[in-house]
Amino acid sequence: MVKQSAPDTTRRSEKSRRAIYDAALDLVAEVGYPKTTIEGIAARAGVGKQTIYRWWSSKAEVLMEAFLDLSEQAAREAGPEETYTIPDTGDLATDLKAVLRLTVDQLKDPRFEAPSRALAAEGVVNEQVGRAFMAKLLEPSLQLYVDRVRAAQGAGQVCPEIDPRIALELWVSPLAQRWLQYTGPITYDYTDTLVDYALHGIAPR
Amino acid sequence: MVKQSAPDTTRRSEKSRRAIYDAALDLVAEVGYPKTTIEGIAARAGVGKQTIYRWWSSKAEVLMEAFLDLSEQAAREAGPEETYTIPDTGDLATDLKAVLRLTVDQLKDPRFEAPSRALAAEGVVNEQVGRAFMAKLLEPSLQLYVDRVRAAQGAGQVCPEIDPRIALELWVSPLAQRWLQYTGPITYDYTDTLVDYALHGIAPR
């Protein structure tokens, strides 16, 4: 009996953790970030407030982790071909276009829409949340592009003097702004075009 | 006496309008967009609710116009050299870099910071506000870039097959995303680099 208690606790913890994530994502989608509270998340998840405070120090932390978990879940469901890595077929344009088409699909996935918009919106007016969103959710994906551009520099497909951290913004930021600010439609054609413009520039060669 | 009543009314209206704009901008900076109400704006401006509803149909409309007015005021104060047009010296890179440096300054102007962040944040979670923000505040500036890129195409400085409406996003969107999501520092060096990458591409020529 004593031996079984540890796994039981782990299972119970895992169940609570998942209930908290679901409650946090549902609430933020329904009432928005400002009206989502630790109390509300706890009530909806059927756990005590103290259970949440044992694991996280703020609602921002709970939400970021819930969202990260949702993304990882989606990646697992999508199978090994659609993991969050950037392929290296040797052709940078092909690889970037493929990844950006997946991003277009993700941006249109209704499961992500409400919580990611709520978190992004709060980040615009709350620098602390904005920087946490950047560090936990955006930066890891941006680093994948940095690595892929560096590999392309090694392969002679990108000029050695280019800063990969700035280069990636030529295709990531336009897509992000269209999503955040409705500055234009989001399509595969559009992201393909961004990659071509970024690689070859808009001036005549 | 009767003859003077029209100018008096105009003057009084203009005074009320300005008080409403100021109240709207102050309130949204202090309590955020969701907690800003027509009632709150009216109380702070010292006018009746009906005065506001006579001119505008929603708080979003009041705020957008207040913000537009603030931008126009700032442009007038800055003098004729710093108007919101894009120069055409014949060299696209020089002109874009000059305008983007002004944009960097504006983004760091504390008068704009709070209201523009509050409106942008609401636009992320409220598509109607987002599209109004785009139509009233962003699109007019983007069209100036469209015109400047078209002129550069005429002058042989940009390839004729480039879509100017997408091209401008190579420098506008990275700056916008850094401002909205804290994805990196905002400096003159950075915007200069964006222009160089956009014009010449990151691939070897």
- Confirm whether B160 is domain-assigned: yes
pLDDT in tens, A72-128: 887 788 766 555 689 999 999 999 999 999 999 999 988 889 999 999 999 999 999
* CA diameter of chain A: 76
* Tally of CB atoms within 10 A around B2: 5
Identify whether B183 is part of a domain. yes
State the average pLDDT over residues A145-169: 98
Say what the alpha-carbon torsion angle A166, A167, A170, A175 is, to the nearest 10 degrees.
-80
The reply to whether residue A204 touches residue B156, judged by beta carbons under 8 angstroms, is yes
E strand or H helix that includes residue B107:
helix B92-107
Q: How many domains does chain A have?
A: 1
Contact between A40 and A24 (Cβ < 8 Å): no
**CA B97 to CA B103: how far, in whole Å?**
10
Length of chain B: 205
Q: Mean pLDDT score of chain A, rounded to an integer?
A: 91
Parent domain of A128: 84-205
Interface residue B200 vs chain A (CB under 8 A): yes
**A124 to chain B, minimum CA–CA distance in Å?**
5
Contact flag A202-B204 (C-beta cutoff 8 Å): no
The reply to whether B5 falls in a domain is no
Note whether residue A1 is domain-resident.
Answer: no
Question: Each residue of B11-39: pLDDT tens digit?
Answer: 778 899 999 999 999 999 899 888 999 99
Query: pLDDT value at position A16?
Result: 93
User: Is residue B40 assigned to a domain?
Assistant: no
Within a domain: residue A142? yes
Show residues of chain B in contact with A174, CB under 8 Å: 166, 169-170, 173-174
Buried b (16+ CB within 10 A) or exposed e, A131-170: ebbbebbbeeebeebeebbebbbeeebbbeebebebbbbb
How many other C-beta atoms are found inside a 10 Å radius of the C-beta of residue B94? 12
Residue B73 in any domain: the answer is: no
The whole-angstrom separation of Cα A133 and Cα A64 is: 7
- Angle among Cα A91, A162, B91 to the nearest 5 degrees reads 110
**What number is the ipTM of this complex?**
0.90
The shortest CB-CB distance from B181 to any of A92, A133, A190 is to: A133
Predicted confidence (pLDDT) per residue in B160-199, tens digit:
999 999 999 999 999 999 999 999 999 999 999 999 999 9
A22 in a domain, yes or no? no
CA distance A54 to chain B (A): 29
Which pLDDT score, from 0 to 100, does residue B156 have?
Answer: 97
In chain A, the percentage of residues whose pLDDT exceeds 90 is 75
Q: What CATH number does residue B200 fall under?
A: 1.10.357.10
CA–chain centroid gap for A194, Å, is 20
Residue B96 touches partner A, C-beta closer than 8 Å:
no
CA distances from B95 to A125, B85, B101, B102 (A): 31, 10, 10, 11
Q: What is the pLDDT of residues B105-153, one digit of tens each?
A: 999 988 888 999 999 999 999 999 999 999 999 999 999 999 999 999 9
